[in-house]
Amino acid sequence: MINSEYLNNLNNAQKKAVLHLDGPLLIVAGAGSGKTRVLTSRIAHIIEQKKAFPNQILAVTFTNKAAQEMQNRVSTLLKKSSTGLPWLGTFHSISAKLLRKHASAVKLNSNFSIIDQDDQVRLIKNICKDENVDVKKISPKYILAVIDKWKNKGLYPEKVILNQKDVIEQGILKIYKIYQKKILDLNACDFGDLILHCVNIFENSPDIKNIYSNNFKYILVDEYQDTNFIQSKWLNLLAQKHKNICCVGDDDQSIYSWRGAEIKNFLKFDKVYENTEIIKLEENYRSSQNILTVASSLIANNQNRLGKNLKTTMEDGELIKLNCYKNGKDEAIGVSDEIEKNLKKKYSLNNITILVRAIFQTREFEERFLKIGLPYRIVGGIKFYERAEIKDCVAYLRLINQNRDDLAFERIINQPKRSIGETTIKQINEYAKKNNFSLESAAKKLIELNLVKPKTKIGLNHFLNLLNKWRNDNNKKNLNHVKLLQLVLDESGYSGMLKNKKDLENENRLENIKELLSAMKEFDNLESFLEHVALATSIDQNWEGEKVSLMTMHAAKGLEFDVVFLPGWEEGLFPHQKSIEEKGQNGLEEERRLAYVGITRAKKTLIVSFSMNRFYQGDWIDSMASRFIEELPEKNLEKINSFEEKDEENFEFNQDFDTEDEFRSPGWIRYQKRIK
């Protein structure tokens, strides 16, 4: 009988997972079910029972923080501060360690450099320049994303097979070949290479692979649902000898397919490893039963899952509040009122969060919080009016409004690129200072005196002429400030710059600009809008003490809060239209998993909301409640109409509008098809 202390606080399923040491083991660990405790207790048990020495255990995490926490917990459990696990770390850190020892097998020296993204971008830019590739049409970051995708799939350049019609990827493959040769010549590798090279060594040098496969008697993997193809292959090669591989994760929380994660690694684990034991951790130590019931009911609509039923020993708790608002602005007011009037009295602001599907959604909440002085933080992102693309747009408008705004002039003179380099900007600054001119006046004078290079002169002249045109446009009565910005973005080439560079970052920037256009429509003219922005950004936001957290649902994974708000649950926004269009059913299921992650962040209070109308891209659109709302069990919900009294008599959830001339959103159209 084993009486070790680390087993005392485990439930039956957790204890079973810790004690099962022989053969492959898949632990399906629901949200808040204590998976880290199980992993660390399992390591402690292996060492305590002398099944393996610490250096014969390989424990893999996704973050350095998780690795450090695991190391500390194992030491505490064993009551040995000196207990070290030499093979505990991330996929990348362990691969780097292996690669240092066997670098020559992939034609590297052991002192190779690991280049970061900045180095990668710079290298790609140089290659594009040499190969006459226009980086305005295809972003170096997009090229790197495609290369990273290939590496995640285990493909060196010579193994990539392309559709002959895909001209863009053919061009990227050519760059990939040059890029890979250059980093090899530099005795360097990027993060993708660390795992790819290791797999290459294991496959082509069996003697090296056998050293580690024989050594690692036990392999443990955290967050297995987030592994990609090459990580899974790396693990399979190392586990070949003993097959004592234990993978922990939650298929219902697989939300990173856009980063290369493949849920099939988790779902087909028992097909890869014969005689796999599957243990489900279904006892949740985080949330009330009502929250868990709602989460379980929602995720049960997914087909690609192993299935589990979360339960808790805690009370049922509060019903999940479902709020419907007239529009997005009312939603922000409703959320802030709920925090101010009710929740502040019961909870710390640090334990309250608002989780959105897309980062542009934070704008209306930020506006409201600034207005009423409610302290907040943006987690994993930047405040709306501090985002680079927003500051660029505002700088254009400021300069149109006021030609002596030197700060705005300097910010956007070469944004997008107009062949106006730092030397020219310095020249303009010096001339302006010497003659007490504004930067714009100084630039005009330098052109008159023919003191700038011909190529620079063309770009500078074009920019100054556009400024004059926009000022004239601004003076026309039939052109409002919203249309003015749309014109500026189009004619300056700014929106084209973002649209041409295909990557997720630029897509988010475009979404933010669309949200800015929506914000501008709330103001009568350009002056009042610019005044609002100035005040919003000048307010002392460095509040001391507690703050409400705003973040995306992706950023919230692994976190927990007493109170969680989930706003914007509308068709087209959540589930996101693009995700469904690109990935079909798989995209819908991942969006539902994201909803599940959002719900299970809540410990005590969960408030879901949607708007009947949303101001988007400068237009009002009808919104329909997300299909996910229909999948929440009614007995666990408290429905609230957050309309004015005069509207309440005509209001019903999921009501339709009879007005024929309203613009119908794609979400609304899909909803109609579904109910017919």
Residues marked active site are found at 35-36, 222-223, 253, 601
Please report which residue ranges of 49-90 form alpha helices under DSSP H. 64-78
State the Cα–Cα distance between residues 313 and 338, nearest whole angstrom: 28
Sheet with strand 548-552: strands edge to edge: 376-378, 548-552, 352-356, 561-566, 602-611, 320-325, 637-641
State the Cα–Cα distance between residues 226 and 258, nearest whole angstrom: 11
Q: Which of 182, 168, 162 is closest to 122 using CA atoms?
A: 182
User: Phi/psi at 302 (nearest 5 deg)?
Assistant: -80, 140
Query: How do 619-622 and 613-616 pair as beta strands?
Result: antiparallel
Map tokens 């399979």 to a residue: 236
Query: Dihedral of the CA atoms 70, 74, 79, 83 (nearest 10)?
Result: -90
Is residue 110 classed exposed, middle or buried when 0-12, 13-18 and 19+ CB atoms within 10 A define those classes?
exposed
Strand partners, 400: none
HEC states along 498-551? HHHCCCHHHHHHHHHHHHHHHHHCCCCCHHHHHHHHHHHHHCCCCCCCCCEEEE
Query: Dihedral of the CA atoms 474, 477, 482, 483 (nearest 10)?
Result: -80
First-to-last CA distance in the chain? Answer: 63
With H, G, I as helix, E, B as strand and everything else as coil, classify residue 244: coil
- 135, 172 in Cβ contact below 8 A? no
HEC states along 16-42? HHHHCCCCCEEEEECCCCCHHHHHHHH
Structure tokens, 633:
């069990």
User: Phi/psi at 537 (nearest 5 deg)?
Assistant: -85, -15
